[in-house]
Amino acid sequence: MPDELLFVQDGAVATITLNRPEKLNTMTPAMGKAIIQLVTYINNEESIRVVILTGTGSRAFSAGSDVKVLDDYGSNWQLRNRIDYARELWKIRKPVIAKIRGYCIGGGLEMALMSDIRYATPDSRFAAGEIKLGWHGGAGNTQLLPRVMSPGRALEMLLTGDMVSAEEARDWGLVDRIFDDADIDAKVADLAARIAGNAPIASELAKHLVRVAMSTAVDVGLQYENDTFAYCFTTEDSDEGRAAFTEKRKPNFKGR
């Protein structure tokens, strides 16, 4: 794994940190390849129940791809067929929390959009700035922004490339909560711990069902939800949850 990407597991919570602060945590092909390996590991490691995605320092969550190394992806066709770091994050089955400080732009915004819950500090700034360089986002901005905010506001970001404040991002639905810089680490850690304490199979299914809701008809989604609801009652965790409720104790879920 390159030094520009850090991975730490603390109990059931894994943290991926983009570690290139002098370059606003911009992404390189080597970092993208490492994320591919991490996603596979996270999905296969049963002890991991929640993932936190963040960046080193307070200047930036990530400013996306390092424009100076874009040519390293090869020809236009190779660029088109690249395995993209943001879309790889979409494949994580566990809940993902984005902890955002500073700039969250371009591919950084796409990585945040691939996360499930987004917490930010008041000085965070968001932009789909690719349009100012001659292209649009290639890994989620045009597809996911209209799903978390109105199409008009999404297009305002996509067509101008202008910065949006943390408060605007929260009002528009892009950010879920804003916390002071001194508080955000504890708030994210608390959220991760509360999620990790619940039944992991049910958590993964709930995440999956929300994505189903974003892309299918309500009638189909409702039936699918009922099917997976019934499946949950085949798990040992469901038995444990009912037993803990009866015995008035905290359940000990094991992901089985």
Condensed to tens digits (0 to 9), the pLDDT of residues 144-156 reads: 999 999 999 999 9
> pLDDT-derived band of residue 66, with 50, 70 and 90 as boundaries?
low
162 pLDDT more than 80: yes
Q: Are residues 83 and 147 in the same domain?
A: yes
Q: Are residues 68 and 174 in the same domain?
A: yes
> pLDDT-derived band of residue 73, with 50, 70 and 90 as boundaries?
low
Catalytic residue status for 156: no
Return the beta strands (E) in the chain as ranges.
Answer: 5-10, 13-18, 50-55, 60-62, 96-100, 103-105, 117-120, 125-127, 164-165, 177-178
81 pLDDT more than 60: no
pLDDT of residue 134: 77
52 lies in some domain: yes
Q: Are residues 141 and 228 in the same domain?
A: no
138 pLDDT more than 80: no
Of 45, 46, 88, 110, the active-site residue reads 110
CATH of the domain at 151: 3.90.226.10
pLDDT of residue 83: 66
Stronger pLDDT, 252 or 137, i.e. the higher one: 252
> pLDDT-derived band of residue 70, with 50, 70 and 90 as boundaries?
low
> pLDDT-derived band of residue 100, with 50, 70 and 90 as boundaries?
very high
Q: Are residues 77 and 183 in the same domain?
A: yes
10 lies in some domain: yes
Q: What is the rounded average pLDDT of the residues 66-82?
A: 64
207 pLDDT more than 80: yes
42 lies in some domain: yes
Structural domain including 231 reads 200-247
Chain centre distance of CA 146: 16
Q: What is the rounded average pLDDT of the residues 162-190?
A: 97
253 lies in some domain: no
Tens-digit pLDDT profile for residues 3-49: 899 999 999 999 999 999 999 999 888 898 899 999 999 999 999 99
Q: Are residues 92 and 213 in the same domain?
A: no
Q: Which of 112-126, 189-203, 217-231 has the lowest mean pLDDT?
A: 217-231
Q: Are residues 180 and 219 in the same domain?
A: no
pLDDT of residue 174: 96
Catalytic residue status for 110: yes
82 pLDDT more than 80: no
130 lies in some domain: yes
Which of 196, 216, 233 terminates a domain? The answer is 196
Of 130, 156, 168, 225, the active-site residue reads 130
255 lies in some domain: no
Q: Are residues 48 and 29 in the same domain?
A: yes
Q: Are residues 149 and 213 in the same domain?
A: no
Q: Are residues 145 and 221 in the same domain?
A: no
Q: What is the rounded average pLDDT of the residues 178-207?
A: 97
Tens-digit pLDDT profile for residues 49-61: 999 999 999 999 9
Q: Are residues 166 and 242 in the same domain?
A: no
CB atoms closer than 10 angstroms to residue 194:
10
Which of 196, 217, 234 terminates a domain? The answer is 196
102 pLDDT more than 70: yes
252 lies in some domain: no
Q: Are residues 103 and 49 in the same domain?
A: yes
Edge-to-edge strand order for the sheet containing 164-165?
Answer: 60-62, 103-105, 125-127, 164-165
CATH of the domain at 234: 1.10.12
Q: Are residues 146 and 226 in the same domain?
A: no
Which of 156, 176, 196 terminates a domain? The answer is 196
Q: Total domain count for the chain? A: 2
Backbone phi and psi for residue 51, each to the nearest 5 degrees, phi listed first: -125, 135
DSSP 177: E
